[in-house]
Chain A
């Protein structure tokens, strides 16, 4: 058994603990943060190559065989998500080192703990363990959200914490209900047990499945429960907001994983239970986010609404629960995370250079480096608005094509295209207010630190790179979707070492 699958958890855990021991805001803490993030990128590269040929890596923690112990499972989807997290994290750490990490203690430690939670959520094959990793990433995110302090951050944090505590309660109720009828928490084992539930228990399992959908929609910031996102992301410090761009993907990942594996096509009476809800939620999310983007008077809120619109787009793709839909969702999620993170960092550079007005969208302040910031904003906005030639266009076309076979084609296309147009208009308005119509008074702010600019450029460069590597990328996404829908292969790989059923408790 290779030990690579556990490295993306151990690395941030140990690095975070080490950074806690070091003097806060010291040079050593920075070195630990950067070194751990670089090592995480390398590790995720190893995981990607391991997952590339399609073999599932199952890592039983403590050698306890599934379903008794907790397993980590690396498949193409998990490996891709961990790789995406590591790349965004490295860019955020580099940006933070250029000054933001000194605004409060323990930035690097909390940052690594957040990565521990995100990576764990992507890798675990156990439902309760997924809850635990959700809580790890949440408690780190609460504290990171408060990094640098300020009234706006405190207000946003109180709301987010209260909301997520209720979400955690719902998650536990769903887990308890599912356990009470199946007697298992291992996802592969659940997939096996859910398909053969007796008639009397189906109702409980259905309630549990839909509760889980609500919880994941809350994490993903989908429509009925997603209004926390723009305010929170606008309040957070830039590298934190950029890292948060991955957090909505954790919710989308959990929907894609649970509702293909456990409540997917093989789930007997519960097959396709999420299908009637996910696409309408995506359409509604885009509609609300587009309206919010149009009304936004502040750049960071605008980007927050735009991230929410991208959540809606990814949900429409996931909601097809087809190979094409899931492949499109992965490609689009990678694109939107990288570009969303870059835009949050650009907004912060703009804020620093417009001391009086910050990121407010009016024409009264000039930035110090209009060509550099304007150019970066232009590339990021074009990509985020899904205009050619960047990756957003390819991603959106994949999503549009994937919806063709499913229900609600007209509504999905309307939402995707009109929503895209409205977001484009909002971004164009923001760009012209910030960079074209800006007042005559020159800015006296310092130019942007080189390291910060390099981090942004690296994130932005991923967008054309995704287009250049479009063939292999969409091929990988397709293989990933095939693997994700092959629940039989997943079950057999995870439960290969399971002891005979005689030792198991019977819940019937």
Chain B
């Protein structure tokens, strides 16, 4: 499971970085989205991976997954989603105003 998770995060980050380095706003947007997916998975994993343990503490010494990273991921998802929405609107606006989807607003 560790291998699968780390490979997924690695592939997401690599694709995200590649797309972020493109010169058009739409690939950059997708790249940022992939990066934020990778970050969410990574944050989730920072609480350690556990299988078949209780989601809540029912008795003092039972093993249970760390609830904090889940709260962090939730916060990060909300913030990341809002920020990505802002970027979408701005990128669309830039296309309308400059007539180009180049990140520097240059023509073809």
State whether these chains interact.
yes
Mark contacts of B15-54 with chain A using CB atoms, 8 A cut-off: 1 yes-contact digit, 0 otherwise: 0000010000100110010011011001101111000000
Task: Give the residue of A146, A155, A175 whose beta carbon is less than 8 angstroms from that of B104.
Answer: A155
Complex-state Cα separation, A179 to B44, whole angstroms: 11
Mark contacts of A172-198 with chain B using CB atoms, 8 A cut-off: 1 yes-contact digit, 0 otherwise: 110111011001010000000000000
- Verify if B97 is at the interface (C-beta below 8 Å from A): yes
- Verify if A42 is at the interface (C-beta below 8 Å from B): no
Chief secondary structure at chain B's binding surface: helix
- Verify if A162 is at the interface (C-beta below 8 Å from B): yes
Complex-state Cα separation, A158 to B91, whole angstroms: 6
Mark contacts of A61-100 with chain B using CB atoms, 8 A cut-off: 1 yes-contact digit, 0 otherwise: 0000000000000000000000000000000000000000
Chain A residue contacts of B36, Cβ below 8 A: 165, 168-169
Contact of A162 with B66 at beta-carbon distance under 8 Å, contacts A151-B105, A173-B42 already known: no
- Verify if B94 is at the interface (C-beta below 8 Å from A): yes
Task: Give the residue of A128, A161, A179 whose beta carbon is less than 8 angstroms from that of B86.
Answer: A161
How far does the Cβ of B88 sit from chain A's closest Cβ, in whole Å? 10
Task: Give the residue of A168, A176, A179 whose beta carbon is less than 8 angstroms from that of B83.
Answer: A168
Mark contacts of A106-147 with chain B using CB atoms, 8 A cut-off: 1 yes-contact digit, 0 otherwise: 000000000000000000000010001001001100110010
Contact of A162 with B32 at beta-carbon distance under 8 Å, contacts A151-B97, A155-B105 already known: yes
Chain A residue contacts of B86, Cβ below 8 A: 139, 142-143, 161
- Verify if A438 is at the interface (C-beta below 8 Å from B): no
- Verify if A411 is at the interface (C-beta below 8 Å from B): no
- Verify if A166 is at the interface (C-beta below 8 Å from B): yes
Chief secondary structure at chain A's binding surface: helix
- Verify if A505 is at the interface (C-beta below 8 Å from B): yes
Complex-state Cα separation, A217 to B36, whole angstroms: 20
- Verify if A157 is at the interface (C-beta below 8 Å from B): yes
- Verify if B76 is at the interface (C-beta below 8 Å from A): yes
- Verify if B5 is at the interface (C-beta below 8 Å from A): no
Q: How large is the interface on B (under 10, 10 to 19, 20 to 34, 35 or more residues)?
A: 35 or more
Complex-state Cα separation, A173 to B16, whole angstroms: 14
Q: Across the interface, do B90 and A505 meet the contact criterion of CB distance under 8 Å?
A: no
Q: Across the interface, do A166 and B35 meet the contact criterion of CB distance under 8 Å?
A: yes
Q: Across the interface, do B43 and A172 meet the contact criterion of CB distance under 8 Å?
A: yes
A: number of interface residues (CB 8 Å): 31
Known: A162-B32, A175-B72. 11 other contacts (CB 8 A): A135-B79, A142-B86, A151-B105, A155-B98, A158-B25, A158-B103, A162-B28, A166-B20, A168-B83, A173-B39, A180-B47
Which residues of B come within 8 Å of A, CB atoms?
20, 25, 28-29, 32, 35-36, 38-39, 42-43, 45-48, 66, 68-69, 72, 75-76, 79-80, 82-84, 86-87, 90-91, 93-94, 97-98, 103-105
Closest 3 CB pairs of A and B: A180-B46, A176-B46, A155-B105
Q: List 28 A-B contacts (CB under 8 A).
A: A128-B75, A135-B79, A138-B83, A139-B82, A139-B83, A142-B86, A143-B86, A146-B90, A151-B97, A154-B98, A154-B105, A155-B105, A157-B90, A158-B105, A161-B83, A162-B25, A168-B79, A169-B32, A169-B36, A169-B38, A172-B76, A173-B39, A175-B72, A176-B43, A179-B47, A179-B68, A180-B47, A183-B66
Which residues of A come within 8 Å of B, CB atoms?
128, 132, 135, 138-139, 142-143, 146, 151, 154-155, 157-159, 161-162, 164-166, 168-169, 172-173, 175-177, 179-180, 183, 185, 505
